[in-house]
């Protein structure tokens, strides 16, 4: 087995652990309301953030190597971890986190397209972002208790990255989110963490579905 991909994946995982332990955990903690009922202790929050970010960074680096799109993918994964912490704590995806994520990812996709010479991917990315936003917005109108506006806005950066890879990836990431969300909901019901009338934060499932699709089918 070549050592270069292993070294890159390990290095990315270590970077993810460091970022997750300090800046990402602090970013998430700063955006959680002080009166949140199920506020996670900071040390536990840091451990969860560091471990999850390390796994995502390692998997993405292993899959894509030094591909120009890797920085955008790592940025999305890092922000997704922080947003998931907030969502799991108080079922909220703050605008103060979602929109900076959209801006950073959009900026990072420009050099990725320039270095690959595939400028058309930016058009696909914009279409993917708008399409996913519209899809979640319609769901929120149909069932506001099941889909919040935070999820709708978070669809913008997720759709941007998935769309950059093409409509098949976009569709895989969208379906992956609902597949993961369905499994999580069944487990939560089985463990009696929620009732049939309750709701489960969907942000983490959106992140998981997108990352799984990108790692499994990204090219």
Which domain range does residue 89 map to?
Answer: 3-217
pLDDT of residue 3: 61
pLDDT of residue 1: 44
* Inter-residue contact 132 to 180 (CB < 8 Å): no
pTM: 0.95
Number of domains in the chain: 1
Taking the C-alpha atoms of residue 135 and residue 141, their distance in angstroms, rounded to an integer, is 10
* Inter-residue contact 87 to 150 (CB < 8 Å): yes
Of 11, 39, 121, 24, the C-alpha closest to 81 is 24
Residues 103, 86, 63, 167, Cα dihedral to 10°: -60
Is 107 in a helix, a strand, or coil? helix
Phi then psi for 197, rounded to 5 degrees? -95, -5
pLDDT of residue 5: 82
Residues of the chain with pLDDT under 50: 1
pLDDT of residue 176: 97
pLDDT of residue 191: 76
pLDDT of residue 190: 81
């Amino acid at each position: 087995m070549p050592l270069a991909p292993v070294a890159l994946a390990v290095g990315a995982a270590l970077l993810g652990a460091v970022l997750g332990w300090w800046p990402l955990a602090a970013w998430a903690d700063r955006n959680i309301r002080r009166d949140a009922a199920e506020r996670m202790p900071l040390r536990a929050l840091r451990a969860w953030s560091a471990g999850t970010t390390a796994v995502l960074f390692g998997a993405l680096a292993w899959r894509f190597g030094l591909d120009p799109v890797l920085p955008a993918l790592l940025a999305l994964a890092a922000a997704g971890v922080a947003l998931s912490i907030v969502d799991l704590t108080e079922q909220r995806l703050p605008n103060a986190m979602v929109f900076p994520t959209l801006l950073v990812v959009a900026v990072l996709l420009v050099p990725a397209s320039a270095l690959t010479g595939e400028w058309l991917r930016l058009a696909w990315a914009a279409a993917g972002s708008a399409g996913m936003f519209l899809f979640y917005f319609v769901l929120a109108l149909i069932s506001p208790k099941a889909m919040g506006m935070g999820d709708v806005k978070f669809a913008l950066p997720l759709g941007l990255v998935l769309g950059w890879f093409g409509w098949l990836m976009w569709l895989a990431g969208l379906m992956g989110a609902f597949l993961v969300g369905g499994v999580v909901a069944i487990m939560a019901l089985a463990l009696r963490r929620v009732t049939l009338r309750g709701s489960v934060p969907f942000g983490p499932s959106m992140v998981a579905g997108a990352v799984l699709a990108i790692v499994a089918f990204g090219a």
